Structures are given as C-alpha cells and as structure tokens.
Amino acid sequence: HLLKTMKQWRTELVVGNENYGVVNIKRGIFQGDSLSLLLFIIAMIPLSAILKKMKLGYQTAKDAEKISHLLYMDDLKLYGKSEIKIQLLTNTVRVFSTDISMQFGMEKCATVSIKRGKITTCDGIEMPNGQLIKYNQNEAYKYLGILQLDNI
C-alpha cells in the first residue's frame, strides 16, 4: 500500500508569499519528511536482531544479557569483549549496510578499547577497502551529542 500511495505524493512549493505550484514527488521520500525517519528505523530492526543473535556483546554481570549494540535513530554503537568480536560485529553491519545500499559515515566511526576502566591501545578495525577505523585520543568522542570517555 505504501508504494501505491507514494506514487500519488505531491507537495506545494511556496516561497515567502509566492506559490510556485504543485510538485509531484516521483521518487523516494524527502530527507526532512517525518516518514523518512520512521522507515529508516523500521529498516534497522533486522540489523538489530542479527547483532543480538550473534551473542558477541559485552556482559556487565554473570547473569546479565550480553549487550552487543546501542541503536538510536541513525547512531550505532557496538560492544564486544575483544577486538575480534568487534571486528565480527562491524563486518556484519557492513554486509547488512551493503545489502540495503546504505553507506557508513566513516568520518564518524571510531573504535575504542577499554580494559578495567582504562583506554588501551588498539590496532583498530580494518575495513575491506583497507581503511582503518581507530579512535584518536586527541579528538572528543560524542555519542548522541554527549561527550564519551571523559576522564577515563
């Protein structure tokens, strides 16, 4: 039903007080459209389920569930007990993203290795194109606009 409805979509173009007429939307959804975000979130549900099924996350207590990721809107944070597990999770996200024609915002990607509450050095994660994702300790790291790793 959605695809049929989308074929009939149109909007009115108004600049200031001047009406430029009706514009038929022939393809897709405008980025600012509230439906755009909802459809994106729905498209991410399978990725979240796949990551959870992998059971590669970090466990905060013996009987606690493993946390492999946090997903809020278009922000994704992966958790793993080792760099190898993070690499597996990252590769899964990459394959899923490729399958749905979505691209990583590589300029926003970073890896951090924390052991016993302290940041440790890590080699980073190498992507198939050879690009290395690594945390730069000289840069502030924010998630959802909140500074992370402060005083670690």
113 close to 122: Cβ distance less than 8 angstroms: yes
* Per-residue pLDDT reduced to its tens digit, 55-69: 888 888 889 888 889
Instruction: State if pTM tops 0.85.
Output: no
State pLDDT tens for residues 1-10. 777 887 788 8
**How many Å apart are CA 21 and CA 124, to the nearest integer?**
52
What is the fold, at CATH topology level, of the domain defined by 1-148? Alpha-Beta Plaits (3.30.70)
Distance from C-alpha of 133 to C-alpha of 125, rounded to nearest angstrom: 5
Percentage, residues of the chain above pLDDT 70: 69
**Residue-wise pLDDT tens digits, 78-132:** 888 888 888 888 889 889 988 988 877 666 666 666 676 666 666 667 776 776 6
